[in-house]
Amino acid sequence: MLFGLGVQCFKPVNFTFAGSTRVFADIIFGLEIISVDPLARTITIDWYPQPSAPCMPLPNMTADIYIDSLSLFDIHPLCHEFMMTFDSAFLDSSKYLALAVPTAHIPSSSSLQNYPFDVYFAPQYIRIIEHESGDFLTMNITRSLGIAVNFELILESSFYDSPLHHELYLSFKIERSRAIKIFVVIIAVANWLIATAFLTICAATLIYHSPTIYSEMFVVPVGAVLSLTSVRANLPGAPVGFGATIDLYSVLPVLVIMALCSFYLLFVILYRRLNLWERRGDLERAQVIFNEETCNTCASETNQNTLSGTSSSSATRTKEDALDLQLLEGSSVEVVKKSEWFPN
């Protein structure tokens, strides 16, 4: 028994048929569910007939088992003539009809579009006739087994068409397993969550004029866009192409939203980077012009300082020369006065 997503995924069928404990049958059947194919709309069942009293000596009897031809495909030959032994078995591939509404009991167009909530039913009519006398034989189905992968089979109804219990009607209800339904719904919700996050990023770029946008903010969602198609193609039992209901409400609108948001973000990022490069060029040109003006101003100030230093040094020298002359004149006057004090 397998488990997935916390619920029972695949379980062997165990049907209780009409009158299985009240009808004395000449022939009893055990059936095994082999597979279900919704694309080919077939259900494959192995039937195991045996006498109702296997411990008793084998009766000298040949029985013909008939299944309604409307529910069989001609391409699958049915072994309807065989010797009754304990190990006898035959395989048939039966058609089943689709139900647009699970509670309806009339055939309608294929409901594969409703994946994973598509529901089908497979009717079976079985009768047994004694080969030599042509008399009807009573029958019953006493055991069932088998696993239809990704599907759940339910015996919707079973009854005898006559009070002699020689014609048995069965109706199987076929639907996706609970794990498949949960898995597909989780994938759809995850797709919408990714799309919502991407829409939030786009709204932020519209509301805030200069938000910081990192590469991983859109690289991861873009990768999710590319992976959506592969995830859709690998859904278990999903129809080929984009036409199911799950596609119309999850995959296709999410793909459109993500594609538009990706284009918008890439355009905004490219536009802002071009503006940034242009602003950087303007700043570099302005910096060069400013540096040139600063150099010219510094050179002119240096020249002015040099000229002022030369004039001040010449004035200082002139003052020093004047003082020297004054000192010389003063000394000569004193010498003259002294010579007057001491005449020859």
Per-residue pLDDT, 185: 92
Identify the CA nearest to 143 among candidates 2, 13, 34.
Answer: 13
Ramachandran class of 129: left when φ > 0, alpha when ψ lies in -120 to 50, beta otherwise: beta
Give domain limits for the chain.
2-176, 181-286
Per-residue pLDDT, 236: 85
Q: Is the pLDDT of residue 280 over 80?
A: no
Q: Is the pLDDT of residue 9 over 60?
A: no
Q: What is the DSSP string of 105-167?
A: -S-BS--GGGTTS-EEEEEEEEEEEETTT--EE-EEEEEEEE--TTEEEEEEEEEESSTT--E
The region of weakest confidence among 113-122, 217-226, 315-324, 333-342 is 333-342
Q: Is the pLDDT of residue 104 over 60?
A: no
Q: Which residue has the higher pLDDT, 243 or 69?
A: 243
Per-residue pLDDT, 182: 92
In tens, the pLDDT along 191-203 reads 898 888 888 888 8
In tens, the pLDDT along 295-337 reads 777 767 666 666 555 555 555 555 555 555 555 555 544 433 4
Q: Which residue has the higher pLDDT, 174 or 94?
A: 174
pLDDT tier at 186, thresholds 50, 70, 90: very high
Per-residue pLDDT, 110: 53
Q: Which residue has the higher pLDDT, 338 or 136?
A: 136
Burial 131-166 (b: 16+ CB within 10 A, else e): eeeeebbbbbbbebebbbebbbbebeebebeeeebb
Q: Is the pLDDT of residue 181 over 80?
A: yes
What average pLDDT is seen over the chain? 69
The phi and psi torsions of 171 (rounded to 5 degrees) equal -140, 115
Are 141 and 31 contacting, i.e. CB atoms less than 8 angstroms apart? yes
Average pLDDT, integer, range 269-298: 74
Q: Which residue has the higher pLDDT, 251 or 7?
A: 251
